[in-house]
Chain A
Amino acid sequence: MRPSLNNIEFIENYILRKFDPSEHEIARRRIESSPALTELFETQKDIIQAAKRKGLRSEIQSIMNIGGQSFFYRHRFWLFGGLFVLSVLPFLAFYNSENSVIKQEKYDLIQEQLAKNNQDIVPWIPFDIQFFDLIAEKGGTMVGKDGTLILLAENSLLDASGNLISGKVQAELIEALDWEDMIAYNLTTSSGGKALSSGGMIRIRYKQNGKEVFVDPGKPMHIEIPTDDYNPEMKVWEGEVQGDLLDWKNPQKIERYLSKVDLEYLDFIPTGFDSEVSALLPYRNHRQLSNQLVDSLYYSISSNRDMYADSKENTKSFSNDCYFNIPIREDKRTGHPSNQTKPLLKGKNSITGQIVDPTGKPIVGINIKLRMDRYLENEEIIKTDENGMFTFHKFYPGEVAIYASLHSADDDELFWKYCLETSFVCPKKPQNYTLDKPLVAEYTSMLNFEQLSVSPKLGGCFIDPLSIKTIKGNRFQNTFIATKEFETRLQAMHLSKKGSTILQIYMNNLSEPLWKCDQMASEQLSGTEQEVFEAFAKQGLTSVKNDGIHQKALMAHFREQRIIYRTENRKRIQEGNTKSSQELRSLRQSLETVLDKPAKLAAMQAASNGRSKSKTNRVRSNKSLRVARGPSYKFSWFSSSWVNIDCYLRQLGSSPWITSITTNQNPKKVSVFQCIRQSKTVLGLNALSDSYEAKFPKNGNQEETFSLAMMMKDNQLLFDSRSYHPSDVRALELKLEPISQEEFYLKLCSLAPSESSIAKRLEAKQSDLQAQENIKQKHAPYLKELKTARNRISKEVVLYNRLFDVINRCSKDSFDYPL
């Protein structure tokens, strides 16, 4: 290309953000330092805007022409029916041919998949297939045992000829996110001879009456695979069977855009603040932890709260935050809100409340709005009766909000902003509670907030709680604020002394991509804090984008999972509270002993993956929350082949060591693998004449290097493995012996149990217990003070001081954010 065109291309790529974050930054500097490039940049930007305007203008014109014409004009097709049919025929023919081209393409893609599916890999032990029942017309949301989230759009399944199908279908999901599953399923990680490091593999297929059906390539699934350590270099690969093993092809990029989450369900208050509040209970009438209590105590630490209280005064206890949330209809078995979408029978449940003024007099005829699920717009409006009472009878499962308004029942949202700020308390579930009994909400108090009446301390290194209240406002619902990724960043900010400066950077740059804000934030920081925000920037996350056909289902999923999380979290905190320091310590120590015993860990790992006869060791954990809470790899997918989240393992074979491996079996029948635990790498080794050759990466933890050998002989699995340091061993012999499937899996789990997912979970649990223990210890003197405090004010002073210390980072040196 000519140099002038090269410049145009460069500017275009910069404007369209085609560069990765570091390149983008270099490009920016290059443009800024050259007047000619700057001018070109300005012009090209304007040309793009003008081109968009031109398109927009013709769209508006076409709508204005159709919408603005007379009755005669609008109905001309009917008036000139005959003429219309004649004139439209050629168009229809064109339309049909266009359509059949697309259909042909879909058909070809399906045939391609069918051909690929004929060749399948043979696992060493049977796949653990998870089944989901779906209705093709409705699609559905599926979460695998290991936390993979799959959204299938409605009407998106085709039969082998490419025709839309309807009725019942069954999804078959196989997850191999853990390393031992990859090995057990014979899933190697190489692409064209190059080694890959895996972030997890899955396969999803759909069947109707035993026959395979296919996802419409035009309506791909939305898939998210959870990860503990997000690697921005990862890509999505499609598996193709080559010989006995999989080869990974067609790498596609992982989506970097952000998905909206309902702001209300994001946790913006510092992690652990709720545990601290819980440990100080009972306070006033509060014996149990509630969201309202935590929120109001947190907000009342703000040094600006007097200002806030004043503004409250003006609106006379009206504000827009008066909804209360209760999950309706609990699943009897799990105690979680049910996720069925069937409406409940009318009249089976009800919520009753009363609205009274501060003197206790009932308010008659006020509008009460019940909103079930804020985004699906299921709502009902009624008026309070002569006793100020209201009752709602009909519910759909999900979160419920109640608003009140003195204004007429106008549809306009603005009127509902003025709703009564009262706290409704859903009474404790009676012991004999059944679904048929009404659930009654009672009105309890007219207090705006459980505000502390002590005067606030000035200064302190923390984000002003009022800023947090502000960013939780609806106006930020369409910005990156309303994402789980921002939630993560905010939690890191809470731990930094410079938290409020950093938050300001994000708030001032809402229209910028998230990575850019991360970068600007990191420039303000140093040390570990800087590293954390640099790592955020490296993720290269962009801005909020609509998830298209999956938007509603995705938001609903996040909402549901986060309600479950909140319930579980509160349960966890309360459980911790009922235990004494000693009990907590002995629990923690017992976990420590487990973590020190590799054999025990391996057994637990096998059990937690459902590969053990005894279920006694099974550690329960809700993996379905993983995508809703933590980082994940997000992509669109329609193929029924294996899918792998991978990146190239750099420098494999660049260390000087080569180990020669021999076995006690016929080399033609044995499969030998070289595995690296840390990077989740599984490589099939090629047989030389009578041995195999293992190469190693230069860096990385070499102690986690294993050679494995497997073979099937008369339906019997034979196996041997060896862990070794490549610098010490030049040759080794593997002696394959018969082994049962359970033992084989257990052996795989014992290869590096300290790196297993169970070990990570136990470690997390351990540090959680440690935190609870610390809180207990730190709170002891405060609790004593609380007990001996003479009056309410002095009690509040104690409480305030403790909570202030909890969020204040001035005196804390460590930035203990997990890297």
Chain B
Amino acid sequence: MENTQIIELIREGQREKPIRFLYKEFPKIKQLVLKEGLTKELAEEIFQNSLIIFIEKVENPSFVLSAKATTYLYGINRFLTKNEVKNQKKSIQEEWTDATGFDDSELCYDFEKEEKLNRLEHILTQVSEKCRQIFQLFYFEKQSMDEIAQKLKYSSTNSAKTQKYKCIEKAILLSETSEDRLDKTLQPN
């Protein structure tokens, strides 16, 4: 699949084909991650994260893919693996030849922000089922509030909207308490 096709499909919201295409690289990447001494589960998680980062990048209309999509994907995986390895206080092997030509700085990876997003993603599993559905339908599937109100059997669009705002509020509250907890663990006794 050519870069142009991958980009076009992702921007049109038709992600399945590109994901399948990129997924073909997973066995090879998994081997590389395992060689770094990380687990199978981590390899899978890293690969998923790399796809998310890749798709988010491509969705931005001003993003220009400077290398082949697969090279880029290898680069992200190498970067994320390196990161994980560093966390575990090891050093990275030099076997990521498929990522040659990929510059880590291209990623503009914001550690703090990624950390926060990870935490929020986790928090979104803690809100009620109704809230999870609203978030999924509205933000990810981009359905209108009218459709959502009908689907989730709200008496009106307005009450669905109010519910959505309450869900956001709940998520904010949860994130604040989790941040508090985080702060506490960081403080010396």
Could you list which residues of chain A lie within 8 angstroms of chain B, going by C-beta atoms? Answer: 1, 4-5, 8-9, 12, 40, 43-44, 46-57, 59-61, 63-64, 67-68, 411-413, 475, 478-479, 510-511, 543-544, 546
Contacts and interface: CB of A to CB of B under 8 A. Distances in A.
B11 A56 contact: no
Contacts, number: 111
Interface of A is mostly: helix
Interface stretch (B57-65, B91-99, B100-108): B57-65
Contact of B139 (A9, A52, A479, A544): A52
Contacts of A511: 60-62
B2 interface: yes
B62 A63 contact: no
Given A55-B140, A478-B7, A478-B61, A5 B162 contact: yes
Given A5-B169, A60-B48, A63-B16, A510 B62 contact: yes
Contacts of B15: 56, 59
Given A5-B162, A54-B124, A68-B26, A47 B172 contact: yes
- Counting chain B residues whose Cβ lies within 8 A of the other chain, the interface size class is 35 or more
Given A51-B140, A64-B26, A1 B20 contact: no
B177 interface: no
B168 interface: yes
Nearest to A512: B62
Nearest to A5: B165
Contacts of A544: 61
Interface in B131-188: 135-136, 139-141, 161-162, 164-166, 168-169, 171-172, 175
Given A49-B56, A60-B51, A479-B61, 5 more contacts: A46-B117, A46-B120, A48-B139, A54-B140, A413-B4
Nearest to B116: A46
Given A52-B140, A56-B52, A63 B2 contact: no
16 contacts: A9-B161, A44-B168, A46-B117, A46-B120, A47-B120, A50-B121, A51-B140, A52-B139, A54-B121, A57-B48, A64-B48, A67-B20, A478-B61, A511-B62, A544-B61, A546-B11
Given A46-B116, A46-B120, A543-B61, A51 B172 contact: no
A55 B60 contact: no
Nearest to B2: A413
A154 to B, nearest CB: 18
A413 B3 contact: yes
Given A56-B140, A411-B2, A511-B62, A51 B135 contact: yes
B34 interface: no
Contacts of A543: 61
B52 A57 contact: yes
Nearest to B172: A43
Nearest to A61: B48
B41 interface: no
Given A64-B48, A511-B61, A546-B11, A50 B117 contact: yes
A17 B72 CA distance: 32
B129 interface: no
A70 to B, nearest CB: 13
A50 B120 contact: yes
A643 B166 CA distance: 39
A475 B3 CA distance: 12
A50 B52 CA distance: 11
Given A51-B135, A510-B61, A546 B12 contact: yes
Nearest to B15: A59
B19 interface: yes
B19 A60 contact: yes
A63 B117 contact: no
Nearest to A508: B62
Contact of B162 (A1, A46, A57): A1
Contacts of A546: 11-12
A1 B162 CA distance: 8
Nearest to B60: A511
A63 B16 CA distance: 7
A321 to B, nearest CB: 18
A49 B53 CA distance: 11
A51 B124 contact: yes
